[in-house]
Structure 1
Amino acid sequence: MNVVQALEAVAADPRGVPAKAVARRLGQSLSSAYYVLQSLSALGFVEPSPVSHGLYTLGPKIAELFRGYVASWTLPHRLEPILLELRERAGVRVYAARWSDADLEVTCVRGRRGATELQDVSVGFRGAAHALALGKVLLEAVPPDHWPAYLRKPRFQAYTEATITVPNRLHEELLRVRRVGHALDVEEYARNVCCVAAPIRDGAGRVLAAIGASVSARRFRYEENELRAAVLEVAATASRLLKALDPLSMFLSTVTPRVCYEGKKEPAAQAVESLEGEARGNARRDSRAVP
């Protein structure tokens, strides 16, 4: 409980708070407050203010935890309203997927009677990232050395005659996905089924999930532009909601968790030693009882 109360005290003022304020919040001695602060600082949850000596501000680890909360927004039950909007708007079967354990994982599927579907692609489906529009969207955002083992071979599994089966061709396709902002699967996973997918991004532009829709090849020939526009618009709306929810993501994209002391990056053990020294010095300078 002391740790939570200390974090709440530090968060109360973005300019930083002194150890005295934390001690008052905890109802404990100044030396106890310094001990809690130095422990939190060593882990990156708080840090000495870079502009005001003696003050503490929240550290970058807080932003990382907050982003974890934002990422939970892409869980199936939170994506469902977005998928339902796309399903009703376009009259199609819709899907959501994320990157999990080095592969595509389908997390949500919503259809309507008569809508063309991808056979065997249901919740929990993994694999075939090179053949699915959902997979291409996710692969574009992942370094090749983090791809699944089946995509580190000289040839990939062919699901139809249209499946991309060689690395060079896949890399070319992913460059196109990056350029246009969406991916297509034109009978690459299943004959007579085509898909369009687009990314859901956080405020820093990172891909958190992909949403897509499947239609028959015949319908795709006549309605590709309309389907693409619907998928892109719904994905963009979801991304805007994420950006509004996550004002720290732009900051987090350039900051990594660290332990700071007087503006220098140090190993955690050295930082703890330094902070302990500062705590002892501060406690000696101000041994008065907390008012």
Structure 2
Amino acid sequence: MSQTVERAIRALELISESPQHPTDVAESLGVHRTTALRLLQDLCQGGLARKREDGSFAVGYRLAGLAQSALEQFDLRTIAHPHLLELGRKLRLTVHIATVEEGRVFYVDKVDPQGGVRLYSQIGKAVVLHTSGVGKVILAYMSPEERAQVLEGYSYERFTDATVTTADDFAAQLSEIRERGWAADDGEYEHFINCVAVPVRDGTGAVRTALSVTALKAQVDLARLQELLPTIRATAHTISRALGWTQ
């Protein structure tokens, strides 16, 4: 990948998170302010960015339209979305579905409960593998060779007191997850949030996707989420069947 393209991608990632001034982008990219400004101006000309009145740059309307069109091309999201809506309506909790691509796990779709608490998670954003329920499920069902490749050089950063921070402890956790068929995030990324996740199979029976239900601990604790596992698994099974799994 050329340096210019790499910088443009990184700049788009930065302004998609929050509006950025040229000096902020320059610092993140490790370039001079004039270089960052020229890059942002080029993105504006293409409709991928826009300049705000305060001089900062934000995502352009063309990029938002392209993102929406791109989402519609994901067969998984198209197939799964009605089932996520139904599960979210039934449980009145946040529902995610995530899949693995090139060794990273991304949220493909998300449904928030109507009138409920909206959790900060984004479609298209990569998850933290060693804390997220969906990441753990997908890793647990990988072959040892593929898992080793994905986790090569991985840093087990501590986010809360509950975070697993060693490769050995994480490997033991993944083994347990595969045996019991579900994973949890028990306040491991944010201490006040927990979730449970289950595998979704594709037409070959492989697990490249996971379904999760997430809640504030003060609202629904992990014990209650575990009681919901039969309902969550039923939805995962329905999605798996829609993806071509026949068993």
What whole-Å deviation, never above 9, does each CA across 1:125-177 have from its counterpart, x for those lacking one? 11411110010011112245545988434751122111111111111111111
Which is greater in Rg? 1
- Displacement of 1:223 in angstroms is 1.5
Structure 2 residues not aligned, in runs of 5+:
1-72
2:35 is matched with none
Identity %: 26
**Structure 2 CA distance, aligned partners of 1:148 and 1:108?**
27
What whole-Å deviation, never above 9, does each CA across 1:234-277 have from its counterpart, x for those lacking one? 112222333xx466xx9xxxxxxxxxxxxxxxxxxxxxxxxxxx
Q: Is the 8 A contact 1:199 1:211 kept in 2?
A: yes
* SS class of match (2:178): helix
1:166 is matched with 166
Q: Is the 8 A contact 2:195 2:215 kept in 1?
A: yes
- Displacement of 1:103 in angstroms is 0.8
**Structure 2 CA distance, aligned partners of 1:214 and 1:91?**
10
- Displacement of 1:117 in angstroms is 5.0
How well do the aligned residues superpose, as a CA RMSD in angstroms? 2.6
Amino acid at match of 1:86: L
**Structure 2 CA distance, aligned partners of 1:191 and 1:113?**
24
Change (3 A) 1:116 1:168: farther
TM-score, length basis structure 2: 0.62
Amino acid at match of 1:109: K
**Structure 2 CA distance, aligned partners of 1:173 and 1:144?**
14
Once the two structures are superposed, the pairs formed by residues 133-152 of structure 1 within 5 Å of their partners are 133-143=133-143, 145-147=145-147, 151-152=151-152
Structure 1 residues not aligned, in runs of 5+:
1-71, 251-291
* SS class of match (1:75): helix
1:93 is matched with 94
**Structure 2 CA distance, aligned partners of 1:157 and 1:83?**
30
Amino acid at match of 2:86: E
Change (3 A) 1:150 1:191: farther
What whole-Å deviation, never above 9, does each CA across 1:42-100 have from its counterpart, x for those lacking one? xxxxxxxxxxxxxxxxxxxxxxxxxxxxxx98521221011111101111011110001
Runs of 4+ in 1 over 4 A off after TM superposition: 147-150
1:190 aligns with 2:174: no
